[in-house]
Amino acid sequence: MQQQTLGFLLVTAATLGLVHTLMGPDHYVPFIAMSRVGKWSFSKTIVITLVCGLGHVAGSIILGAIGIAAGLAVGGIEGLEDGRGSIAGWLLLGFGLAYMAWGIRQAIRNRPHTHWHSHGDGMLHEHEHVHTSDHAHVHAEENKARRMTPWVLFTIFVFGPCEPLIPLLMYPAAELSVSGIVLVTSVFAVVTLITMTMVVALAHAGLARLSAPWLARYAHATAGFTIATCGAAIKFGL
């Protein structure tokens, strides 16, 4: 009977890991957006996705393990998870809005402008450019933003809960054995991470084939808007 129950929980863990990840665009959209504008390599994109995913899953596993060890009721743990989810939603929304505002500022500062030049023969021609000093400053700020972004995403994902993990998997598995908890959480974590990386990898490969030079100037602002939308969806159920 215990083996049948454990088998059912393992299948449920795999199913929930897959569905929970696919149904939550916040699991992959931030990485897709930031990989594009940050010009991350494929390997860097996958590593950052995996590290953030591990932080995302580990936060709930640790909280669930503490709750089980302390004999806390599942309702109390769910309350903590809801609180973490609210924080993660606000952080994602705030980061997206801040990044969008920064992207708009960079686009405005780096806008090209035209100068007309007159030659001795009376001929006029126009020359479009950006100021070198401003352009260099824009690149310096972009490099700083690129270095900070993975850490910001990791912090947000550590706060983000895996809602079905504790009440639907960890507590039922705890009634069987410690090894049952380990197996169930491992399956959920592995499927979640695989799903995240597969979606991000496919999107990375697809976007690499697209070229839209006219959007390049507003790429950072667009990425920020996309991430903010994910945060709003989490926070307000959009």
Q: Could you tell me if residue 118 is inside a domain?
A: no
pLDDT single digits (tens) 121-166? 555 555 555 554 445 445 566 666 677 888 899 999 998 888 888 8
pLDDT average, residue stretch 216-227: 88
Average pLDDT of the chain is 84
Q: Could you tell me if residue 116 is inside a domain?
A: no
Lowest mean pLDDT among 53-57, 128-132, 201-205: 128-132
pLDDT single digits (tens) 5-20? 899 999 999 999 999 9
Q: Could you tell me if residue 121 is inside a domain?
A: no
The backbone torsions φ and ψ at residue 164, rounded to the nearest 5 degrees and listed phi first, read -80, -10
How far apart (Å, rounded) are the C-alpha atoms in residues 137 and 26?
31
Higher pLDDT, 217 or 228: 228
Please give the structure tokens belonging to residue 226: 């996309």
Helix axes 178-207, 2-22, angle to 10 degrees: 30
Q: Would you state the pLDDT for residue 109?
A: 78
Q: Would you state the pLDDT for residue 120?
A: 54
Q: Could you tell me if residue 44 is inside a domain?
A: yes
Q: Could you tell me if residue 124 is inside a domain?
A: no
Q: Could you tell me if residue 165 is inside a domain?
A: yes
Question: Which residue range(s) make up the domain with 20?
Answer: 2-109+129-236
Q: Which residues pair with 113 in a beta bridge?
A: 129
How far apart (Å, rounded) are the C-alpha atoms in residues 152 and 157?
9
Specify the DSSP class assigned to residue 27.
G
Domain count, the chain: 1
What count of residues does the chain have?
A: 238
Q: Could you tell me if residue 139 is inside a domain?
A: yes
Q: Would you state the pLDDT for residue 216?
A: 73
- Classify strands 124-129 and 113-118 as parallel, antiparallel or unpaired: antiparallel
Q: Would you state the pLDDT for residue 218?
A: 86
49 confidence band (pLDDT: 50, 70, 90): very high
Q: Would you state the pLDDT for residue 215?
A: 65
The backbone torsions φ and ψ at residue 209, rounded to the nearest 5 degrees and listed phi first, read -85, -10
Higher pLDDT, 116 or 85: 85
Q: Could you tell me if residue 120 is inside a domain?
A: no
28 in helix, strand or coil?
coil
